[in-house]
């Protein structure tokens, strides 16, 4: 057990915690924050994707006289709060089960562009926005997980306000309007910083009107991963917290439902 605390303490130190604090004190007084939307029939999926369903196999008193329940679910990989593996847009990239565990945890930062996204549904987060964060706080740490707060999480799961449309199929795709990360900013990160992943509170790391998904392609060609449809980013500080992002381990998967949490010391 002590070994576990030492490991966790080392992680928290890496996230900028004071070395004078006792690890047990950090664990007792820190806060775990869930960044995951529950999966149900209202979960937001891409207009061309099959949505989440959850059906009852059995729930009640069985023939032996005690209560028992079991359910089944069905969904595409990419919907609700989910994880993108590199193979999603990089042919030789890692599948979900091949992504190393060390790439699923790391020091988190939040880049807040809610003011800009509030006046422009199609806002694309720039390298300048990332550099502005660095000018205010510090250089983006090596091994960081960057979370982009656009403010659109407050609209989830209302499709019209969250994605810009309630239409399904290819017609729905044409009417998507929500913020994302500009491809030039993705390239800046790949070229100039050593990060693990990028996540945000919209349905896609590319903005809604993207047709070439160049941000996806740039990040995944470099072996990075992404998290989409995140919840609760408004509860996080700009820096000084730790992320654990654990996708369902689907063999050969291009993506997966994701349970992602943050620990704030």
The residues that bridge with 241 in the sheet, in sequence order, are 108
Answer whether residue 56 is part of any domain.
no
- How many domains is the chain built from? 1
Answer whether residue 66 is part of any domain.
no
What are the residues whose beta carbons fall under 8 Å from the beta carbon of 223, sequence distance 6 or more?
A: 86, 90, 93, 94
pLDDT of residue 27: 74
In angstroms, the CA 195 to CA 188 distance is 11
- Which residues of the chain have a pLDDT value below 70? 1-21
pTM: 0.91
Q: Which CATH number does the domain housing residue 227 bear? A: 3.50.30.50
pLDDT of residue 10: 55
Answer whether residue 159 is part of any domain.
yes
pLDDT digit string (tens) for 188-222?
A: 999 999 999 999 999 999 999 999 999 999 999 99
In angstroms, the CA 169 to CA 171 distance is 5
Answer whether residue 127 is part of any domain.
yes
Answer whether residue 209 is part of any domain.
yes
- 11: exposed, middle or buried (C-beta count within 10 Å: 0-12, 13-18, 19+)? middle
Distances in Å between the Cα of 190 and the Cα atoms of 159, 185, 186, 237 are 31, 9, 6, 24
pLDDT digit string (tens) for 107-150?
A: 999 999 999 999 999 999 999 999 999 999 999 999 999 999 99
pLDDT of residue 142: 98
In angstroms, the CA 101 to CA 67 distance is 37
Answer whether residue 60 is part of any domain.
no
Percent of the chain with pLDDT over 70: 92
Q: Which domain holds residue 132?
A: 2-50+77-264
pLDDT of residue 21: 66
pLDDT of residue 25: 77
């Amino acid at each position: 057990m002590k070994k576990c605390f030492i490991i966790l303490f080392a992680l928290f130190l890496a996230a900028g915690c004071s070395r004078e604090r006792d690890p047990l004190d950090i664990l007792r007084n820190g806060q775990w924050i869930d960044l995951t939307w529950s999966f149900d029939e209202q979960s937001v999926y891409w207009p061309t994707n099959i949505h989440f369903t959850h059906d009852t196999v059995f729930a009640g008193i069985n023939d032996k006289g005690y209560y028992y329940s079991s359910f089944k679910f069905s969904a595409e990989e990419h919907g609700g709060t989910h994880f993108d593996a590199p193979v999603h847009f990089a042919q030789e990239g890692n599948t979900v089960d091949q992504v190393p565990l060390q790439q699923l945890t790391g020091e988190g930062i939040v880049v807040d562009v809610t003011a800009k996204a509030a006046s422009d549904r199609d806002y694309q987060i720039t390298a300048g926005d990332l550099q502005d964060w660095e000018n205010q706080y510090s250089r983006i740490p090596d091994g960081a997980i960057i979370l982009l707060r656009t403010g659109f999480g407050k609209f989830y799961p209302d499709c019209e306000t969250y994605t810009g449309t309630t239409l399904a199929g290819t017609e729905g795709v044409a009417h998507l309007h929500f913020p994302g990360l500009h491809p030039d900013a993705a390239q800046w990160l790949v070229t100039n910083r050593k990060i693990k992943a990028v996540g945000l509170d919209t349905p896609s790391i590319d903005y809604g009107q993207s047709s070439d998904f160049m941000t996806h392609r740039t990040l995944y060609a470099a072996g990075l991963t992404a998290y989409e449809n995140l919840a609760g980013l408004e509860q996080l500080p700009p820096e000084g917290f730790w992320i654990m992002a654990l996708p369902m381990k689907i063999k050969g998967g291009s993506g997966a439902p994701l349970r992602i949490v943050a620990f704030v010391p």
